[in-house]
Amino acid sequence: MFANGEEFKAAFLKKLEMMHGISFSESTKREQFQTLGTMVRECVSSDWIKTNEQYRTLRQKQVYYLSIEFLLGRLLRQNLMNLGIEDAVRNGLDSLGIDLDELEENEADAGLGNGGLGRLAACFLDSLASQGMPGHGCGIRYKYGLFEQKIIEGYQVELPEQWLRHGHVWEVRKADASVQIPYWGRVESYWENGRLVFRHLDAETVTAVPYDMPVIGYHTDTVNTLRLWTAEPSRYMDSGDVLKYKKETEMISEFLYPDDTHDEGKILRLKQQYLLVAASLKSILASYKKQNGSLLDLHNHVAIHINDTHPALAVPELMRVLMDEEGLGWDEAWHITWHTLSYTNHTTLSEALERWPVHIFQPLLPRVYMIVKEINERFCHSLWEKYPGDWKRIESMSVIAQEEVRMAPLAIIGSHSVNGVAKLHTEILKEREMRLFSQEFPDRFNNKTNGITHRRWLLKANPSLSSLVSESIGEDWIEDTKELERLLKFKEDNGFLEELSRIKAVNKERLAKRILEKNGIAVDTHSIFDVQVKRLHAYKRQLLNILHIMYLYNRMKEDSGFEFFPLTFIFGAKASPGYYFAKKVIKLINTVAEKVNTDPQVNDRLKVVFLENYRVSLAEEIFPASDVSEQISTASKEASGTGNMKFMMNGALTVGTLDGANVEITELVGRENIFLFGLTAEEVMEYQKNGGYYSHEYYHHDKRIRQVTDQLINGFFPDTENEFTAIYDSLLSHNDQYFVYRDFASYADTHERIGKCYSDKESWRQMSLFNIAKSGYFSSDRTIKEYAGQIWNISSHAKK
């Protein structure tokens, strides 16, 4: 590619002139970034073509990962690193007086996702390509990414995230691969050659146009594809209100998760889901047919994965294509469909279980609805034969009930594999949430504990730690992260441990600098950086964290002898725009921050920072600079968590409940290397089932709790009259659904332990080392190998 800096420099200058028609001295940083990005993309195009050719000629089984979210973040440095040309490029740019890191700042995060589920999809793409596996992503190219968050007077304000404003250098528009997607209209059926044939008439058609992005593997020549669809007006529209149609069409790929409190929003979401599914299936089948394979054999050559229920329409849509377009009978089509599809569940929260009112579903997707109905009738019939008279069971398992189409049953029935994302989560699915289904299809249910790509989250985000690791145990860990365990031999090695702390200190300095720039707060880098970054949600209990900080503050004010290690609490979180409670918690965090940070009495020992607009690129600075990782969800509620793994890999110690993948972190590092507290999942579920929890009792019996709760409403924070009533009510009037009070004492005690432990530098460093060494299990390479071997039945082709 570019053997050295000189070669790169010459090519860069030429490209800059050609692309922008200006000389280097006149060019802006953005033009330089676009030039570099385009060069990199062009560089990989021959490998991209070759990869596809190879897949075709070897007729390798392909997997397509359908996801409504892909939270990619920035791609420039990841791509340079994976191609192995970062040094050459950096040197070449240096000689032109350009700093690569500064150039990177011109790349907008591709934030086509909300949180964990979308970031997991991005990590999976990296692991597939890096392990030379034939796996591709299919998603939507939203015009606006997840909103940009501004904090104004402590409140979250949402701005549109215009990530495409200056174009996206990594994508290629493939207009010739566009497909037509029909909505609305009616279905006509008639007999033809002894078969009943269905035709969708009077439909409103939308053109789905794909944009392809190369997914570049680490040090391999595999380049897979992420195909993102946009909705554009179709040329075939010849009557009606053209402007209205154009607007409605473009809306489909404008925003991620449009507000669905009204029917209009629901229609839009369902249109999005169908666009993703119908367009992806069309292009998948077109490419399969090019190989001349028989459709009856589809499932042996193609695997299609449904990431949560959002793409579950793949079940009826694949049936529709196989029957209506390919002429197969129901039984043949059904066999192929469920053997081709597999489904991952990411959450057990009831509000995330998708259901669509029939009065919306049926008119919007008339033929698809007929097929859903038939799937349901056949399924219910089979249940009736097995459990005659057991209406309750049949009703609770059916796909259509109470005038709603339920997407989870549809996904389960139509897939050969259903997986949870951590051991505990899968157990809860099998034993509780999906118990009847797991009794019905015991072989389908399985666990695939999540992972993260260590290439982005360690190699790229924390180059100094990566170098230390490589200098100490060689580079094999990059290929096989289990090798990180070899670090354990440095447990008593003072030189190594010193170096570990030095690296953490430098990373903390960098984050402190950003905090000073952005928030105007000077934090002490010798204090413990205690961090909670994730979506804001009641079950994740940022509230427990901030109430505990209020208690610490009170204690400091009242008790001059109160001794504790200086602390910097750092938060980052976006709240869903319509989520009132979550927004109040953001306001509370900022209100507490204001009070604490301006109080000279506590100031050199306690700071609270809310970093606005938490996103992938910011996360890459935060994880390497953290000492303590807050993973404090109400047990049983967090399916897995993946931030917990990123902290661990960067040497932070977890304070957490036994929830999600925290359970597996504990199994790996042992209880002595993690700070556990609070109720277990079983205890929580027991309370939920049989009652017995009264938050008032905790309020009355624990002075600390009473004091911080009263402070929410008693004027303790100036000018906040009624501001926190919703929080106050959630704790007392609504009996504290997430057991914040119940876990408070245990959380506070655990924090005391953390402070003491941190003062013992040597043992802290050892614990940190232990966590890094054991984190290899959480590489998404391991997760993807499990999916590949146990669900998709795909294999990798030779690496370079």
- The residues binding ligand 26Y (CB under 6 A) are 114-117, 120, 257, 308, 346-347, 352, 354, 421, 450, 638-642, 660
CB of 798 to ligand 26Y, least distance (A): 31
Active-site residue, from 9, 425, 430, 535: 535
CB of 310 to ligand 26Y, least distance (A): 6
CB of 639 to ligand 26Y, least distance (A): 4
Q: Which is nearer to ligand 26Y, 68 or 588 (CB)?
A: 68
Q: Which is nearer to ligand 26Y, 360 or 380 (CB)?
A: 360
Q: Which is nearer to ligand 26Y, 151 or 407 (CB)?
A: 407
- Residue 83 CB neighbour total at 10 angstroms: 23
Four-residue CA torsion sign, 73, 76, 78, 82:
positive
Pairing of strands 223-233, 341-344: unpaired
Q: Active-site residue 460, yes or no?
A: no
CB of 638 to ligand 26Y, least distance (A): 5
Rounded distance between C-alpha atoms, residue 75 and residue 112, angstroms: 13
Q: Which is nearer to ligand 26Y, 425 or 460 (CB)?
A: 425
CB of 414 to ligand 26Y, least distance (A): 19
Four-residue CA torsion sign, 604, 610, 613, 616:
positive
Q: Which is nearer to ligand 26Y, 525 or 642 (CB)?
A: 642
Q: 303, 414, 83: which is closest to 788 by C-alpha?
A: 303
Active-site residue, from 61, 136, 346, 504: 346
| DSSP-derived 3-state class of residue 230 | strand
Strand partners, 532: 571
Q: Per the structure block, which two tokens stand in for 71?
A: 């939270």
Rounded distance between C-alpha atoms, residue 596 and residue 493, angstroms: 39
Q: Which is nearer to ligand 26Y, 103 or 268 (CB)?
A: 268
Q: Which is nearer to ligand 26Y, 352 or 506 (CB)?
A: 352
Q: Which is nearer to ligand 26Y, 227 or 534 (CB)?
A: 534
Q: Which is nearer to ligand 26Y, 263 or 297 (CB)?
A: 263
Rounded distance between C-alpha atoms, residue 639 and residue 344, angstroms: 11
CB of 139 to ligand 26Y, least distance (A): 14
DSSP character string of 668-737: HH-GGGSEE-S--HHHHHHHHHH----HHHHHHH-HHHHHHHHHTTSSSSTT-TTTTHHHHHHHTTT--T
CB of 303 to ligand 26Y, least distance (A): 19
| DSSP-derived 3-state class of residue 167 | coil
CB of 406 to ligand 26Y, least distance (A): 13
Rounded distance between C-alpha atoms, residue 510 and residue 498, angstroms: 19
Q: Active-site residue 646, yes or no?
A: yes
Query: How distant, in Å, are the alpha carbons of 262, 640, 689, 739 from that of 433?
Result: 27, 16, 13, 20
Q: 577, 676, 595, 695: which is closest to 635 by C-alpha?
A: 676
Q: 266, 228, 208, 284: which is closest to 113 by C-alpha?
A: 228
CB-nearest residue to ligand 26Y:
116
DSSP character string of 68-118: S-EEEE--HHHHHHHHT-HHHHHHHHHHTT--HHHHHTTSPPEEES-SHHH
Active-site residue, from 269, 534, 537, 541: 534
Rounded distance between C-alpha atoms, residue 206 and residue 353, angstroms: 28
Q: Active-site residue 335, yes or no?
A: no
Q: Active-site residue 359, yes or no?
A: no
Strand partners, 64: 136, 304
CB of 371 to ligand 26Y, least distance (A): 22
Rounded distance between C-alpha atoms, residue 532 and residue 541, angstroms: 10
DSSP character string of 297-355: GHHHHEEEEEESSTTTTHHHHHHHIIIIIT---HHHHHHHHHHHEEEE-----GGGS-E
Which residues belong to the active site?
Answer: 346, 534-535, 540, 642, 646
